[in-house]
Amino acid sequence: MAVVKYYASLRNVVGKKEEQIEVASLSELLQRLSQMYEGRLARHLKTTTVLVNGKNVIHLKGRRTPLGKDDIVSLFPPLGGG
């Protein structure tokens, strides 16, 4: 099961910091999240940055990035700071 971690406003949307979800790829995870949170996440997912084990998925296989046991998926809204 992949560990999905939520940050910033996404925590308020889903009401938790993290959860474990059984999926095989990022594409499947995004679909599952949309179903689980009934559209509440949809607006946010359009702008969400996704890291898998600390790497931005655009440097992996994008939506086709495989997810397996103990993979950590971090979901962030657009950030600014410093």
Q: Give the residues lining the site for another protein (CB under 8 A).
A: 5, 7-9, 11, 17, 26, 30, 45-51, 54, 56-59, 62-63, 74, 76-82
Residue number with CB closer to another protein (38 or 42)? 42
- Min dist. Cβ of residue 14 to another protein (A): 13
- For 33, residues 6+ apart whose C-beta sits below 8 A from its C-beta are 4, 21, 41, 45
Smallest separation, CB 19 to another protein (Å) = 15
Pick the closer one to another protein by CB: 69 or 81.
Answer: 81
Q: Which CB atom, from 12 or from 35, has the smaller least distance to another protein?
A: 12
Residue type, 47: T
Q: Rounded to whole angstroms, how far apart are CA atoms 54 and 14?
A: 21
Q: Minimum distance between the CB of residue 69 and another protein, rounded to whole angstroms?
A: 19
